[in-house]
Amino acid sequence: MAEDWRMDRIGSALRGENPTVLRRLQAGFAVIGDVQFLPGYSVLLADDPDAERLSDLPRAKRLSFLSDMDHLGEAVERASRRADPAFRRVNLEILGNTDGFLHAHVWPRFDWEPTDVVGSPVWLYPRDRWADAQFALGPRHDPLRKAIADELDRLSVEN
């Protein structure tokens, strides 16, 4: 089934079957988020499907994962700044409260966000934003996907 990759996001990325993958990085995969109510939302998936938390990785791999998170954050920031003058900042989060695999969220934040959530964690957005079909990842996000991927490529050359 086309949606099977969602049941094993890391395994499907390792097999080249995860359609959200933007780039393979040192310790994981940069992927664009399933929901785009904040355009550019991305996730870093660790490339070790057994890692549930950062401390499950050997120290060198931890540092690589954190470096990858930094690179993805900067790529999202650069792409978002160019795409929307209302871009404010990027929030980076390693939570692990729901999904039992190591991953980091990269959330661009914008001045146009509703006043009741603009200064709060993204997780306080109303639940309807997360399930609304108008915010689902789709072909209209291809230019944004390309912009983030291009920035990841530039960063890999710069560093």
3-24: pLDDT as tens digits: 688 888 999 999 999 999 999 9
The pLDDT of residue 65 is: 98
Half-sphere exposure of 60 (CA within 13 A, CB side): 1
Task: Judge contact between 44 and 103, C-beta under 8 A.
Answer: yes
Q: Is the pLDDT of residue 98 over 90?
A: no
Q: Phi and psi (nearest 5°) for 66?
A: -65, -35
Nearest to 148 by CA among 69, 93, 86, 74: 74
Q: Looking at per-residue confidence, does 157 or 86 come out higher?
A: 86
Q: Phi and psi (nearest 5°) for 148?
A: -65, -45
pLDDT in tens, 11-64: 999 999 999 999 999 999 999 999 999 999 999 999 999 999 999 999 999 999
The pLDDT of residue 1 is: 39
**Residue 155 burial (CB count, 10 A):** 17
Q: How is 69-130 classified by DSSP, letter by letter?
A: HHHHHHHHHHHHHHH-TTEEEEEEE---SSSSS-EEEEEEEETTS-TTTTTS-GGGS-HHHH
* N- to C-terminal Cα separation, the chain: 39
Domains and CATH numbers, the chain: 4-158 (3.30.428.10)
Look at the chain and count its residues.
159
The pLDDT of residue 8 is: 87
Q: Is the pLDDT of residue 66 over 90?
A: yes
Q: What is the pTM of this model?
A: 0.94
Q: Is the pLDDT of residue 103 over 90?
A: yes
The pLDDT of residue 61 is: 97
The pLDDT of residue 3 is: 62
